[in-house]
């Protein structure tokens, strides 16, 4: 899958463009150079059902 196809799939599943998702992440405090990828993946999985992040979520 090309990177563009990946972005298109995300937009199709969420109804949001990548820029809109970045803005929503910033509203939640999930943006910037100190942001950990795990936090982004968890947010996308919880709110939008995206990715394999559900496998990485802690059960504690």
The ranges assigned to domains in the chain are 3-55
Banded pLDDT at 53 (limits 50, 70, 90): very low
- CA dist 16 and 36 (Å) reads 22
What are the distances in angstroms from CA 57 to CA 10, 13, 22, 41? 20, 21, 21, 9
pLDDT at 40 over 80: yes
- CA dist 18 and 4 (Å) reads 11
In the chain, what percentage of residues exceed pLDDT 90?
47
């Amino acid at each position: 899958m090309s990177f563009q196809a990946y972005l298109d799939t995300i937009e199709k599943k969420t109804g949001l463009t990548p820029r809109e998702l970045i803005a929503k992440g910033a509203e939640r405090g999930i943006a910037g150079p100190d942001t950990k990828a795990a936090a982004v993946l968890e947010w996308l999985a919880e709110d939008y059902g995206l990715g394999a992040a559900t496998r990485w979520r802690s059960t504690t």
